[in-house]
Amino acid sequence: MRYNGFMVSESGVLARNTSYFTLALVAQKVISFLYFTFLARILGPAVVGKYVLALAITTIFSVLIDLGLASVLTREVAKQPDRAQEYFGQVIGFKSIVSLLVVGLVVATVNIIGYPESTRQLVYLASAVMVLDSFTLSVYSTIRGFQNLLWESIGTILMQVTVAVIGWLVASFTHDLRMLMAALIIAAATNAVYALTKIKSRYRLSWRPIFSWAGWRHLARLSWPFAAAAILTRVYGYIDSVLLSLLANDTAVGIYSVAYKLTFALQFIPSALAASLFPGLSFYFSYLPEKLEQTFSYAVVYLSAIALPISIGLIILAEPVITAVYPAYDNSILPLQILMASLVFLFLTFPIGSLLPACNRQVRHTLNIAVATVLNVALNLYLIPRFGVAGAAMASLVSTVVLFGLGWAVVVKIIVLNKRFLWLRLSRVALAGIIMGLTIWQISSQVNLAISILFSGLVYAGALVVLGGVTTEEIKNLFKILRTRTGFRP
């Protein structure tokens, strides 16, 4: 298919491009984690807490600029590529106005709350990143509509490498957080320029904004369900850092950010699998309902088999891991252990989050997120004053389990699960995890951390295959899924 003389990607090209994007996300997570670790080590909990807080505040508000338009752009451009310029221009015009209002709202909020001047300055600088990233997201969302993820993959890595390099150079001379935030602005601007250049040269789309009330009303009708889910998800994911800053202090935010970052960095695994699940589940729900249960059940087993050893391993090894990587963050050990206790449930919310919308239960899925968000905020307000950082971790644990439970209650109404298959497989996964945990417990005090992790990982993999928790053929299939992300076949 052609648009403006450019060939829209066919399925083979799409498979290759989505594979690039998966690799780009992995690379981005690794670089981001290493850069954050570098900052955490040189800045200390209180200073890094300010940095994380500024980004958390603007990340929450950033959803008010996009309002679900990214998903709508991708979907509508894919359906009507001849109207790509119209949709893209309307979104750019809308964001040109709304971004100014949101920045004003951010400025007013941090001043009304009464954050110190140093924190307010960081939030002001982070607001520039927020706006740049939002416009860049619109560009890449439009390109996604043409079934091409290559340029977004390159841009993702380009931005993260730019942040890491400039940030490392800046930190070598000064620990001024404003300069480090400026490095982030430069990286966001670099990515934005790269994205705009590609959409103009490759797809011949103009950057000119279109101001159309009728067009904006049409987009609003399309985007509101996405906007509601995005707002709730963003608040759910970042409100704990903001509440810690208000109910505790910047040091608490820094301590929590280390434990949370270790947990958050792992989410690319279920995210990649969920991206491949959604189109397959949608197809099965409409045309092959007998495959729906099998596909979902295999996803649950796969993700449990991945999450469980990480969870058990980090609960047992939390102290040596934190001591080795973040020596000034001893108070992060308990929060990390608490967050790791929720990892299996966290991973399983991803396939549930694919199944419900695929089966036309997107409204219920949004309501589930709303309940979990309200609960998370309430628990943070109650637990942080009493238990500090550990209280925020407990709030995350409970709300994650509740979100999983609410979703699972809908799953069992949509499909008739093969309970025997699930319990048999999951019990074998659990047994392999127990064997691994006992191995770590025995050897962790006798060998160094790296050897302990490597050996226990091999023990788990061996036990998992021998017990039949996951077969070697299924493991090969899993890697294929993560490479392509174009469909899921158990």
The H-or-E segment that residue 229 falls in is helix 213-247
pLDDT recorded at residue 487: 43
Residue 278 reports pLDDT greater than 80: no
Q: Which of 86-95, 208-217, 403-412 has the lowest mean pLDDT?
A: 208-217
- Tell me whether residue 87 is in a domain: yes
What would the mean pLDDT of 179-193 be, rounded to a whole number? 94
- Tell me whether residue 51 is in a domain: yes
- Tell me whether residue 426 is in a domain: no
Domain with 123 in it = 1-211
pLDDT digits (tens, 9 = 90+) for 448-481: 888 888 998 899 988 888 888 777 666 666 555 4
pTM, entire model: 0.80
- Confidence at 171, pLDDT banded by 50, 70, 90: confident
- Confidence at 489, pLDDT banded by 50, 70, 90: very low
- Tell me whether residue 47 is in a domain: yes
- Tell me whether residue 94 is in a domain: yes
Tokens representing 35? 């850069």
pLDDT recorded at residue 19: 63
pLDDT recorded at residue 164: 92
pLDDT digits (tens, 9 = 90+) for 59-79: 999 989 988 888 788 778 877
Number of domains the chain is built from = 1
Q: Are 345 and 400 in contact (CB under 8 A)?
A: yes
- Tell me whether residue 111 is in a domain: yes
Q: How would you classify residue 114: left for phi > 0, otherwise alpha for psi between -120 and 50, otherwise beta?
A: left
- Tell me whether residue 54 is in a domain: yes
What would the mean pLDDT of 275-281 be, rounded to a whole number? 67
- Tell me whether residue 36 is in a domain: yes
pLDDT recorded at residue 230: 82
pLDDT recorded at residue 405: 96
pLDDT digits (tens, 9 = 90+) for 343-401: 999 999 988 988 888 787 878 888 999 999 999 999 999 999 999 999 999 999 999 99
Q: Are 151 and 19 in contact (CB under 8 A)?
A: no
What would the mean pLDDT of 183-208 be, rounded to a whole number? 90
